[in-house]
A and B are shown apart, each in its own frame.
Chain A
């Protein structure tokens, strides 16, 4: 099976987001970056498991600048065979990113294109669906289970308060949620081998901007907490009813 795993670079999960003075941008000073957790923990590892079971190849794809190579190398250290970076140096919107992935993937005819269910940065959860539409293949969002039998796939996806089981044939695109696989930590051998694995850099295709972030804000800070005596829960209920008006 020929598998593609699309990965993003995101700020590390404990990052405190700071804005530049006018809110025009995110202040990236001192921010540590990681591979987006859903891409690394679930999408990449499930792709590797399928390859280990049935043969084939796992390619990592990132759309971004040369700075992203460290994140791509981590994916190679975890076990991907090779990588592609579409060399985009500016911040671009989801549709632009999806168009780049689709242009590359179309020529390569992958059986499955994997995504994380969303990035923990922009929380869009839309690039996978966009790529599926550009490639005219089915798309299953938020998959928590994927079993393959030849070209036949059985996917379980999370829906509100439950799940749905879907059958389909390759090729398709899928976004990966918790449950799909277990996180793998790269070992020293993997890290050494990753340095010699191919990382191809390809130029982007022209595509217009469809959205632009004009401004960022931080949520309002909460006022100081009102402490209620542990013996007086009637008072808490009264406050929730009369002051907060939530019950």
Chain B
């Protein structure tokens, strides 16, 4: 059985939770087995996970799960997997998943693939999972050699599909958890925009913007599209934009459906973080900018004229 840890954020399932359930169901199909979902703590909509492919939902509630602690969550997932007889454990490759994926692998002495971006396959007799390496400059097919296997799935890797019916039975799990040894004293998440690693549409600015006071043209386009804003490394290093907006090899690696880059020349380190985007639009006044070679669509022109025109065109299209 494939057990998917579907994370609820503030009691709600977000797109990433649905993605991993779909991933788990498709993995179960490859193995000819069932996909079950695991819910930790209070959450509304657990019975709805069936729509994405879970044939059963298991829920564990405990005061020790109220705040995130990697060690406690690891025990919860590991013990649930043992009790239910799971052979594959699937999680999101987000801040929660990254904190527990390695712990789970160590606890269960299980092979793990962190940041997978494709459904597993049986190849040469081995359960094989593909993941990007070298920050997207290559892909590796990783064979998992242990009886229990762990996969964390990179966001936006597979489309969310309806693979079943809602109204799935939610069964309560009884597992004794240790006390957390960490205390979360503050949890702050910006409301409004979709966080960068989960964003489907991203508008990004580079040194061509000339200064932080000029970011309005980037934000206006992002606003019109409902996109998230990002930036290149020199921009973050100059403190024109917050560090968490930095995409590239030493920043965040993203794979949105649409990446619009304005005033970014396209250094190899930047491309590494964005070249798995489905569609790339490059706007640059330098027709020789290397980024054009990695782009699907290019506009050679002054971004201070092109971006407002594009924003107007998007508004016109959305108004139709």
A interface, CB within 8 angstroms of B? 11, 13-17, 19, 26, 37-38, 93-95, 98-99, 120-134, 136, 138-142, 144, 154, 157-169, 178-179, 208-219, 222-223, 225-231, 233-234, 236-241, 244, 246-247
Contact = CB atoms under 8 A, between A and B. Distances in A.
B189 A126 contact: no
B234 to A, nearest CB: 14
B55 interface: no
Interface stretch (B79-87, B158-166, B291-299): B291-299
B219 to A, nearest CB: 16
A227 B306 CA distance: 13
Given A17-B137, A132-B70, A240 B111 contact: no
14 contacts: A16-B137, A123-B115, A139-B70, A141-B70, A163-B186, A165-B184, A166-B183, A210-B105, A211-B112, A214-B143, A217-B141, A225-B295, A225-B297, A227-B300
B226 to A, nearest CB: 9
A125 B299 contact: no
Interface of B: 68-71, 74, 94-95, 98-107, 109-115, 123-124, 126, 128, 131-146, 181-190, 193-198, 200-201, 225, 236, 243-244, 246, 249-251, 253, 257-258, 267-269, 275-276, 278-282, 292-302, 305-306, 309-310, 312-314, 316-317
Nearest to B96: A159
A138 B67 CA distance: 14
A215 B182 contact: no
B281 A210 contact: no
A122 B214 CA distance: 36
Nearest to B110: A210
A130 B103 contact: yes
A207 B65 CA distance: 32
Q: Which of B194, B275, B279, B316 has the most CB of A within 10 A?
A: B279
Contacts of B244: 158
B112 A210 contact: yes
B259 to A, nearest CB: 10
B17 to A, nearest CB: 12
Contacts of B184: 164-166
A122 B189 CA distance: 29
Contacts of A240: 258, 279, 281, 297
B70 A247 contact: no
B193 A161 contact: yes
B197 A160 contact: yes
A223 B188 CA distance: 42
B300 A129 contact: no
B224 to A, nearest CB: 10
B297 A138 contact: no
Contacts of A216: 133, 138-141
Contacts of B105: 94-95, 126, 130, 210
A161 B279 CA distance: 23
Nearest to B269: A13
Contact of A139 (B71, B243, B275, B280): B71
A127 B126 CA distance: 24
Given A178-B243, A211-B142, A167 B301 contact: no
Contacts of A212: 142-143, 145
